[in-house]
Amino acid sequence: MTTPELAGEERAMVEEITAMLPLFEKSRGNLIPILQSIQEKHAYLSGAAMEMVAEHLSISPSEVYGVATFYNQFRFHPPGKHQFKVCLGTACHVAGGDIILENFERKLGIKDGETTPDREYSIERVACVGCCALAPVAVVDDTVEGHIQPSRVEGIFVQFQVEREREEREKAERESGE
């Protein structure tokens, strides 16, 4: 399934991590700082990355995985081109934020924290985005969608599709014009 492009990306990631690891002392206490700096650079932790960290610190890959999955800050899938952050803070929870999350999940066939195979979309659940008066809230890329309804979720996808079609048309026009 992996395209040559993705395989290349993964190789580059492995190389960068190999170069970075010696900067950290081989102590268990460094596990989280290492994971954080990998994620800072590559936006997520791949399986291969976690195994490399385990080897560097002489602990089992399982242990690294256990620690990484405990914390909400770590992601295990590359972020999509478009990111949906669905708020499940108290106010949004009461206003049915979980229904909105489910709408996104069902529409894309992935769960929160995951990315579609084409890397187009990813869904994340967040605890609060700071505008509880607008509950339920979702943040689509950088736009806050307040009082979001299931129908609006559909609308967002239609919007993205229209945008993509327009881009493709313009691209085709440019190419034919040249």
Q: Which is nearer to other proteins, 18 or 60 (CB)?
A: 60
**Residue 67: exposure state from Cβ atoms within 10 A (0-12, 13-18, ≥19):** middle
Residue 50 lies near other proteins (rule: CB under 8 A): yes
Question: Of residues 6, 33, 55, 69, which one binds other proteins by CB under 8 A?
Answer: 69
Residues touching other proteins, count (CB under 8 A): 16
Question: Of residues 24, 61, 157, 160, which one binds other proteins by CB under 8 A?
Answer: 61
* Tokens at 167, concatenated: 């881009």
Q: Where are the alpha helices (DSSP H) in the chain?
A: 4-20, 31-42, 47-57, 61-70, 90-94, 97-108, 150-177
Angle, CA 143 vertex, CA 141 and CA 149 arms, to 5°: 100
Stretch that binds other proteins, among 28-36, 42-50, 85-93, 163-171 (CB under 8 A): 42-50
Residue 102 lies near other proteins (rule: CB under 8 A): no
Stretch that binds other proteins, among 14-22, 58-66, 123-131, 135-143 (CB under 8 A): 58-66
Residue 66 lies near other proteins (rule: CB under 8 A): yes
Give the number of other CB atoms < 10 A from CB of residue 77: 19
Q: What are the backbone angles phi and psi of residue 126, rounded to the nearest 5°? A: -120, 160
CB of 54 to other proteins, least distance (A): 8
Provide the binding-site residues for other proteins, judged by CB under 8 A.
Answer: 47-48, 50-51, 59-66, 69-72
